[in-house]
Amino acid sequence: MSSIKIRPITAEEFAPFGELLAPRDQPTKMINAGRCERHHALATVERSGGEAIISIFRSEPVSLPYDCTLLERHPLGSQAFFPLGPDAWLSIVAPDDGGRPGTALAFLVPAGMGVNLRAGVWHGVLTPLDRAADFLVVDREGAGVNLEEVSIAPVTVLP
């Protein structure tokens, strides 16, 4: 059984898999008579046909060490997760290696930050840490098979 250590997420390290969803250092523009910062277009919703939909995932947590045995991807659309609560959470992704996941990476996503997984990116299913949590999820619904799951040899995610 292999293991990986959780690491703090950075835009650079996450760039091959998607974008971070958090206010930038500076707003794109001020709106609403100057009362509101617009941090514009942090990511785009990718979809091959179908519709972009908005859902809430109310998920049970996992705890570290966590054995990841399943990865999945959505070839027809991106999938964005934004935590609605106050906790940091775990995002597991992996590069593609000839149609199967390569070596997984585990990121600690701080409270108040989401991620947008680009279409076709291998990832673990939603993993709040230690406490159940609600997430706003933006992804794609429509014709076609948009969920590919693979079982992997257990990868233990360590603190």
Ligand X SMILES: NC(=O)N[C@@H](O)C(=O)O
Q: Which residues bind ligand X (CB under 6 A)?
A: 72, 79, 123, 125-126, 147
Considering the complex, state which of residue 30 and residue 56 has its C-beta at the smaller distance from ligand X: 56
Cβ distance to ligand X smaller for residue 73 or 88: 73
Among the listed ranges 7-15, 30-38, 73-81, 150-158, the one in contact with Ni ion (CB under 5 A) is 73-81
- How far is it, in rounded angstroms, from Cα 48 to Cα 143? 9
Q: Which of 123, 126, 79 minimizes the C-alpha distance to 102?
A: 123
Of 23 and 144, which has the nearer Cβ to Ni ion? Answer: 144
According to DSSP H, which parts of the chain are helical? 11-14
Taking the C-alpha atoms of residue 14 and residue 33, their distance in angstroms, rounded to an integer, is 35
Nearest Cα to Cα of residue 106 among 148, 67, 149: 67
Question: What's the closest the beta carbon of residue 126 comes to ligand X, in angstroms?
Answer: 4
Q: How far is the CB of 101 from ligand X (least distance, A)?
A: 13
Task: Specify the residue for token string 């360590």.
Answer: 158
Residue ranges that bind Ni ion, judged by CB under 5 A: 79
